[in-house]
């Protein structure tokens, strides 16, 4: 695993240890009505970074701007220290891109396709052939790579898409919804593959997804955007830590317990059949235990839930309704923009 | 950076010791640090790839049937002419370097362009492969440029190789350097005129094919206008001649003279007539070429330039705007 760069690290002298992507006040409007990106300022560091947001949040637009395929309306962005508008050519030399949608011709074999796109990345023919074979092996396609792509399953097609992004030996991979259309086993396999490329191949990865639970599994960092604006950019551990809560369920007397916990200043919230309490410190466990014991209620369950990142986005997220003990509690705590810098 | 990368690219696990072979070694990820082609090299690679695609190379056997058939068809007159000369030495060749056999060339090239132009551009539109290209170190214009060069070259092969066969056949029947020189001097303009065919048909074909991703629609979008404009040009030319009659000897009516502008094939015929006029080859031209130009030969030249430029410009504009969803 590459050492996780911390937020405090200075922007860098070397691309691999510093910010691989820096966007400043990046705005993209289509016409006058549609705003895909709205003053987005964010930095992405080496390692695997999850770019999460609902459909239409601006993930794909951001990736296309980074590749120099779209011009921003205003603001600027740098990839590997190069300006996206002026230097898109150099960026595309160093970057592999896996599009969201199906993009493979059915009537050629995976070997032919990946070799061809190796050549399109500037590799001479022999090198392109070698690297195509390597890339396809890395993504787990062996004998089937000589078959026409039209005969492949969705999972195999996704692997070919990843292989063609990898064939040019990029420093940065931009993956747009790589688990699209895969079954649970396929998702796990694809995520393992991405994690392996990120950790063992020394390639930085930006992986866009609307399925936030997945991102959590493989990413070092998280960039959450919504409506073209930055929601949050942080290391994955601090994101999940900030949202840790305790679920308490009793057989009966939920209201009594709620009142008791409220009196202790824990501000519980009803959630399904239980109560959610924000886990600010270990004393919370003691307080809950004492309350339950004092009331003599039959405790069914007491469980620490690591709040999924999904809940950052849920407008009606129950956890947001918990008035936490601190003054900073409230909806703002989870949905407020916390830019890295 | 390099130190970091080298360590990261080491094998994840050391290669397993192989006893009797057959062990798959995990060689880990290998970096590519050797030379890379720049933009010209990539465009050349894409051009070669597309050129092969025009003849169905790199695809299944089915894709090769029509291009090979049409190519053989285009070569037949040259072969027949050569054989005829061999059997009856001294007879006049019936196939000219300029127009070759116009009807055959028109039909064969119409089918070739309609069938093969979609292979070069429509397929990438249909399968949404363009984002993969535009994410490579090329510029937007490089893609249509490579396709255009490739398809012009493919059309040149279809048109010029038969001419070269004809030339070789004729030269082998000639005696003396003066006759060989005469043949060579005739071949030159023929090759140039064939180049005009390739340029015009390739640019129009690609522009029409790039309008749609569906192969069948693209074939129709090329074939139907090319075919019906050709018919219409002939009909109008006939109407012009019969309704208005010739204005004088060698001076057809304006309608008859300008009708040929409608179709690329008659446009090319008109250009040939215009270019041949100073050489006084009227008799031969009359025999081989239906297009009547009257005093409007220069219009054919101008329209040829404008239409070719417009088609190429339209093709490039198409790929500046094309979506990369």
For residue B31, which residues of chain A lie inside 8 Å, CB to CB?
A: 169
The answer to whether A18 touches A11, Cβ cutoff 8 Å, is: yes
pTM metric for this prediction: 0.81
Task: Please report, in tens digits, the pLDDT of each residue of chain A (341 residues total).
Answer: 444 444 333 333 344 447 899 999 999 998 888 889 999 999 999 999 999 888 888 999 999 999 988 889 999 999 999 999 999 899 999 999 999 999 999 989 999 999 999 999 999 999 999 999 999 999 999 899 999 999 999 999 999 999 999 999 999 999 999 998 899 899 999 999 999 999 889 899 999 998 877 777 899 999 989 888 888 888 877 766 666 777 888 888 888 888 888 888 777 777 777 888 877 777 888 888 888 888 888 888 887 765 555 555 544 344 444 443 433 333 333 333 333 33
End-to-end CA distance of chain A: 25
Calculate how close chain B gets to A92, using CA atoms only, in Å.
5
The answer to whether A334 touches A243, Cβ cutoff 8 Å, is: yes
Partner-chain contact A122 B29, CB within 8 Å: no
Partner-chain contact A16 B4, CB within 8 Å: yes
Partner-chain contact B132 A120, CB within 8 Å: yes
Note which residues in 133-172 of chain A have CB less than 8 A from chain B: 134, 138, 164, 168-169
Q: Give dist(CA B105, CA B70) in Å, integer.
A: 10
The answer to whether A228 touches A56, Cβ cutoff 8 Å, is: no
Q: Give dist(CA A115, CA A149) in Å, integer.
A: 14
| Pairing of β A172-176 and β A221-226 | unpaired
Strand partners, B254: none
Helix (H, G, I), strand (E, B) or coil at A43: strand
Strand partners, A275: A248, A270
Using a CB–CB cut-off of 8 Å, the residues of B that contact A are 1, 4-5, 7-9, 12, 28-32, 34-39, 41-42, 45-46, 49, 58-60, 123-124, 127-129, 131-139, 324-325
What residues have CB less than 8 Å from A37, skipping those under 6 apart?
A26, A27, A28, A58, A61, A62, A65, A72, A228
Q: Give dist(CA A25, CA B16) in Å, integer.
A: 51
Partner-chain contact A108 B29, CB within 8 Å: no
Retrieve residue A326's tokens.
């601190």
Partner-chain contact B41 A14, CB within 8 Å: no
Q: What is the ipTM of this complex?
A: 0.84
Q: What's the 3-state SS for B266-286?
A: HHHHHHHHHHHHHHCCHHHHH
Calculate how close chain B gets to A314, using CA atoms only, in Å.
28
Helix (H, G, I), strand (E, B) or coil at B314: helix
Partner-chain contact B29 A138, CB within 8 Å: yes
Question: DSSP for B101-122?
Answer: SHHHHHHHHHHHHHHHHHHHHH
């Amino acid at each position: 695993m590459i050492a996780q760069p911390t937020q405090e690290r200075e922007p860098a002298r070397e691309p691999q240890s510093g910010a691989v992507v820096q966007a400043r006040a990046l705005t993209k409007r289509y016409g006058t009505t549609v705003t895909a990106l709205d003053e987005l300022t964010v930095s992405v560091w080496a390692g695997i970074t999850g770019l999460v947001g609902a459909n239409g949040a601006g993930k794909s637009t951001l990736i296309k701007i980074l590749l120099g395929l779209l011009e921003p309306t205003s603001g600027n962005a740098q990839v590997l220290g190069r300006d996206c508008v002026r230097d898109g050519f150099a960026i595309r030399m160093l970057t592999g891109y896996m599009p969201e949608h199906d993009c493979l011709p059915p009537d050629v074999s995976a070997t032919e396709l990946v070799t061809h796109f190796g050549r399109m990345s500037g590799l001479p023919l022999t090198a392109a052939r070698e690297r195509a074979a390597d890339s396809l092996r890395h993504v787990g396609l062996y004998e089937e790579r000589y078959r026409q792509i039209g005969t492949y399953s969705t999972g195999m097609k996704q692997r070919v898409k990843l292989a063609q992004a990898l064939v040019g030996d990029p420093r940065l991979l931009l993956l747009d919804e790589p688990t699209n259309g895969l079954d649970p086993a396929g998702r796990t396999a694809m995520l393992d593959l991405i994690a392996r490329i990120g950790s063992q191949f020394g390639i930085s990865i930006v992986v866009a997804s609307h399925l936030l639970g997945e991102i959590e599994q493989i990413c070092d960092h998280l960039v959450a955007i919504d409506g073209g604006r930055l929601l949050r950019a942080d290391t994955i551990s601090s994101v999940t830590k900030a949202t840790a809560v305790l679920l308490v369920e009793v057989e009966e007397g939920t209201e009594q317990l709620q009142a008791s916990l409220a009196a202790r200043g824990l501000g519980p919230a009803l959630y399904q059949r239980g109560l959610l309490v924000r886990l600010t410190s270990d004393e919370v466990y003691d307080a809950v235990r004492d309350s339950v014991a004092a009331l003599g209620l039959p405790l069914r369950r007491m469980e620490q839930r690591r709040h999924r990142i999904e809940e950052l986005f849920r407008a009606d997220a129950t956890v947001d309704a918990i008035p936490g003990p601190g003054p900073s509690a409230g909806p703002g705590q989870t949905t407020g923009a916390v830019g890295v810098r | 950076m390099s130190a970091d990368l080298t360590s990261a690219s080491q094998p994840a696990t050391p290669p397993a010791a192989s006893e009797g072979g057959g062990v798959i070694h995990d060689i880990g990820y290998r970096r590519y640090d050797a030379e890379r082609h720049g933009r010209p090299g990539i465009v050349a690679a894409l051009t070669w790839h597309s050129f092969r695609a025009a003849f169905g190379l790199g695809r299944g056997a089915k894709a090769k049937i029509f291009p090979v058939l049409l190519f053989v068809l285009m070569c037949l007159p040259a072969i027949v002419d050569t054989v005829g000369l061999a059997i009856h030495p001294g007879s006049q060749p019936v196939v000219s370097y300029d127009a070759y056999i116009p009807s055959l060339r028109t039909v064969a090239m119409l089918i070739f362009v309609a069938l093969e132009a979609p292979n070069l551009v429509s397929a990438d539109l249909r399968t949404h492969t363009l984002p993969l290209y535009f994410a490579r170190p090329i510029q937007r214009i490089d893609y249509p440029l490579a396709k255009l060069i490739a398809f012009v070259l493919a059309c040149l092969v279809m048109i010029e190789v038969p001419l070269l066969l004809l030339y070789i056949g004729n030269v082998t029947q000639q005696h003396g350097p003066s006759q060989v020189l005469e043949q060579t001097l005739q071949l030159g303009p023929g090759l140039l005129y064939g180049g005009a065919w390739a340029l015009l048909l390739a640019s129009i074909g690609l522009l029409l094919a790039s309008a749609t991703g569906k192969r069948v629609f693209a074939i129709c979008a090329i074939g139907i206008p090319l075919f019906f404009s050709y018919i219409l040009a002939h009909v109008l030319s006939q109407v012009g001649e019969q309704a208005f009659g010739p204005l004088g000897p060698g001076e057809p009516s304006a309608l008859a003279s300008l009708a040929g502008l409608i179709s690329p094939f008659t446009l090319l015929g008109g250009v040939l007539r215009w270019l041949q006029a100073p050489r006084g080859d009227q008799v031969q031209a009359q025999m081989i070429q239906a297009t009547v130009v009257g005093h409007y030969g220069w219009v054919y030249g101008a329209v040829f330039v404008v239409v070719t430029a417009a088609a190429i410009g339209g093709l490039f504009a198409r790929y500046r705007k094309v979506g990369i969803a």
